[in-house]
Structure 1
């Protein structure tokens, strides 16, 4: 297992909390802190646990033709390690939640009942839907109450996800396990992609944890960085040191970075190439062969890897490119390497068809004459110098218009940027065209320091002058501390209304 990072309580005992770096001059105890600040499990894990596959959520079709899901948010426990079970939160179970699956143009109804002792919400991350159905901090569900959002799935095939989004409490609830996938299917998807869920189409929900001696989650924040929690232990679908038996020549991995703060740079232990076929909002125009894909918190990637009979290969996270100074990189996880998941190919593999050369239409947004161009400066826990105010609508966008947003992080801390409701098209990164892995539909993007990221967004429908959508950093500690804002979509000439501080739900589903 990995050498454990020095915990904050250990640093307190060493008298290093609050010591200015300049006076310590990397001497004595501070040198030991520096030496212990990276974590590696590369080549050190014994993969002893079969990868758990989240079950597909049961559903039914009601008399109106809607696909209906029933979800319960509950407090439970999960057996991560031998010994005492770990107290966790989950959906329809003690930890994580089932995978919801619906088709493009299908109408869904999700009955959510909150069986926690605290208020929560469920946000459908990456979904295009009305603001009142979004599940953000304005759609809180009180203990014992329910919420039943319904909407038409109006977007192409994609790997989306859901998680709680309560104001100032998102990081804690996600860290304790409330998350799951929402897969959108599209009848127009070309044949050839691995598509048998749990067989050759595998969900890979990656989270980092840190445990106390009693197997309980330790949610103390990382030292010398404002990123929040950076755990030293990786779990996939709630499984530590996981392996997955592969029975086909090719396997599709739906990667989700569901960690609070950690960045991952995925590749394989033997540096074999793989095909990147999809990102946040759906399939790329064509497969892109690469050996690395970096995901910041909230981002997704679909990759297809080819194996030979009897092969064993490890999905690994290499040190991510955070683009920050050496000190913040070191204490922000930028020097960390983790073995994530071992793939074990059978002695005989079922043949897989070749990947299609064309996957989907390339994203298109005409951004030549945007209705507005906006700038978002990210720094500390603020956007454009202001912290989140639930009662303040920061701006309104007009239905049927295209806008260009420029996001720039102006401090030397890792950030990213997530927008609710819409998938956007990245126009440039640092003034240059986006690399191939950023040319598909996106809803979350890494924003390296002092590197403008320009995106085009089209606001096609779902008008509501009073109920806002969010935009925020998806490093959840940053979001909870105030690095978030909100906007409404209005009709041409319409003025924004007054944002409710909260919209609590007390009706039972």
Structure 2
């Protein structure tokens, strides 16, 4: 049971960065210069030059332009202790600064480290308690993305942590080994909090399963976290939170941070390395592959391992999605992990304005002169999801349109529907218009049944909690509600492009005991504080 939020003195420097810009962005001279359009011949005409400037200023291509001159930072494992049979971890959200580029340090937010946070690592079967202190001057929350847990522990917008307060959620870990994560989820300000740096990995381990799957498992050596974010910096080295109205997806940055490192390289010491990829960006979609188009084994997605390795050369992740890949290297070689232009399913103009033409160098892998032998992943990794045999029924439909779901905007006081504990439902999700969206459900992992009426591709056949929704392609998913009923405490479903989430593209549902009716989130007694 969640313990009450306690008051505590706030610590740390002020959380407002001087000169930080937010909101829709104008086309600046700097952007035009980067696009190479100053001095476009007058014969093209003012209108044509202006159109070209807007078009080219929205493209980002860093291929071959990144100096991989900094070792990849590896987030430390969170310190844990045992109290009363619980595995206890302390986290503190604080403001700080980080030297990303020459010049003035950048004002950041983070958990314990000034930017991002430690990796929380637990075993299946553990009972955990996370003591989260808010050392910021803004209220925030911490959502445990992908975790199966009671709604009152979920860290959504109802579990606000006031400045100086401590929140102590606790629950039992009862789900397969997976790469999960934690991030802020305050109502209307999630993008701002996440962009400043509040995020970290949450790894669930199942040692017998990992051993049987023959996967690299030495954290920071051959099992590597890869938290990818895109940022824009202003002329004073502060995060620029402006965004283009043309794309209307939010911030698309021109500089990548990997685990908070600009231009990172990784020294590889084994023949195979496992990369845990997390798209922690607020808006950008990545399509990961390698600079030489080598293949790799996709072994896991959002909610855990696939049933078998999928050999491929690309994996696409929208904001919030994760993938685990195993790639083989030979001694002495170097290869670059790259994000190729993503497949968004849009028309050429919308593709351009939403990052669909962007190619980005991410991380350089440097293989040592001698590499320790590493076996290939096992042919069988984990049981395949099997919640529903067919997709011939639909229990609920969700239409993602504009900044609404089913024609409704988020209302903190409205619970949209209830589901009965112990049941499995089939949901159909579709985005009918040419605008990028994705779909995330709190508190569960689900099975994709069909994509556009056909079976899902191999990369979507594992457990998922988030997926991209290209226009006019219906997705059917099977969602099981086995536990954690509470008629008053809702879980969220929403678009995980955080600008859209903050524009109220979100709804709420509760899990009910048989015969119960939907309650009211007003009975939660959550903590609030004025901004």
Q: Normalised by the shorter chain, which TM-score bucket? A: over 0.9
Shift of 1:504: 3.4
Corresponding residue to 2:520 among 488, 498, 501: 498
Q: Distance in 2 between matches of 1:145 and 1:314?
A: 43
Match of 1:187 in 2: 207
Shift of 1:189: 1.1
The superposition leaves residues 422-445 of structure 1 with CA deviations (integer Å, 9 ceiling, x where unpaired) of 100000111111000000000001
Question: Matched residue pairs, number?
Answer: 492
SS at match of 1:89: strand
Shift of 1:28: 2.2
Match of 1:380 in 2: 402
Return closer, same or farther for 1:372/1:492 CA change in 2, 3 Å cut-off. Answer: farther
Corresponding residue to 2:65 among 44, 49, 52: 44
* TM-score of the pair, normalised by structure 2: 0.90
Aligned ranges 1:134-145 → 2 under 5 Å: 134-145=154-165
Match of 2:285 in 1: 263
Corresponding residue to 1:174 among 164, 189, 194: 194
Aligned ranges 1:50-69 → 2 under 5 Å: 50-62=71-83, 64-69=84-89
Shift of 1:78: 1.1
Match of 1:156 in 2: 176
Corresponding residue to 2:317 among 273, 290, 295: 295
Shift of 1:42: 0.7
Aligned ranges 1:410-449 → 2 under 5 Å: 410-449=432-471
4+ runs deviating over 3 angstroms? 11-14, 367-372, 501-507
Match of 2:356 in 1: 334
Return closer, same or farther for 1:52/1:474 CA change in 2, 3 Å cut-off. Answer: same
The superposition leaves residues 379-412 of structure 1 with CA deviations (integer Å, 9 ceiling, x where unpaired) of 1110011100000000000000000110000121
Match of 1:318 in 2: 340
Match of 1:350 in 2: 372
Return closer, same or farther for 1:39/1:368 CA change in 2, 3 Å cut-off. Answer: closer
Match of 1:392 in 2: 414
Match of 1:8 in 2: 26
Shift of 1:223: 4.3
Structure 2: runs of 5 or more not aligned: 1-23, 33-44
Aligned ranges 1:191-230 → 2 under 5 Å: 191=211, 192-230=214-252
Q: Distance in 1 between matches of 2:29 and 2:157?
A: 35
The answer (yes or no) to whether the contact 2:243–2:252 under 8 Å persists in 1 is yes
Q: Distance in 2 between matches of 1:321 and 1:9?
A: 25
Shift of 1:218: 0.2
Which moved further from structure 2: 207-216 or 361-370? 361-370
SS at match of 1:266: strand
Q: Distance in 1 between matches of 2:31 and 2:426?
A: 50
Return closer, same or farther for 1:333/1:109 CA change in 2, 3 Å cut-off. Answer: same
Shift of 1:59: 0.1
The answer (yes or no) to whether the contact 1:371–1:402 under 8 Å persists in 2 is no
Return closer, same or farther for 1:169/1:367 CA change in 2, 3 Å cut-off. Answer: farther
Q: Distance in 2 between matches of 1:440 and 1:106?
A: 23
Shift of 1:37: 2.0
The answer (yes or no) to whether the contact 2:391–2:476 under 8 Å persists in 1 is no
Match of 2:497 in 1: 475
Match of 2:41 in 1: none
Return closer, same or farther for 1:380/1:25 CA change in 2, 3 Å cut-off. Answer: farther
The answer (yes or no) to whether the contact 1:367–1:402 under 8 Å persists in 2 is no
Q: Distance in 1 between matches of 2:365 and 2:485?
A: 46
Shift of 1:503: 4.4
The superposition leaves residues 256-285 of structure 1 with CA deviations (integer Å, 9 ceiling, x where unpaired) of 000000000000000000000000000001
Match of 2:297 in 1: 275
Q: Distance in 2 between matches of 1:91 and 1:13?
A: 33
Match of 1:32 in 2: 53
Shift of 1:95: 0.4
Match of 1:124 in 2: 144
Shift of 1:366: 2.5
Q: Distance in 2 between matches of 1:25 and 1:193?
A: 58
Q: Distance in 2 between matches of 1:161 and 1:285?
A: 22
The answer (yes or no) to whether the contact 1:146–1:505 under 8 Å persists in 2 is no
Shift of 1:9: 4.8
Return closer, same or farther for 1:473/1:121 CA change in 2, 3 Å cut-off. Answer: same
Q: Distance in 2 between matches of 1:352 and 1:364?
A: 31
SS at match of 2:382: coil
Match of 2:254 in 1: 232
Q: Distance in 2 between matches of 1:443 and 1:408?
A: 16
Q: Distance in 2 between matches of 1:247 and 1:368?
A: 45
Shift of 1:30: 1.2
Structure 1: runs of 5 or more not aligned: 1-5, 15-23
* TM-score of the pair, normalised by structure 1: 0.94
CA-based RMSD: 2.0
Match of 1:18 in 2: none
Return closer, same or farther for 1:25/1:470 CA change in 2, 3 Å cut-off. Answer: farther
Q: Distance in 1 between matches of 2:30 and 2:431?
A: 31
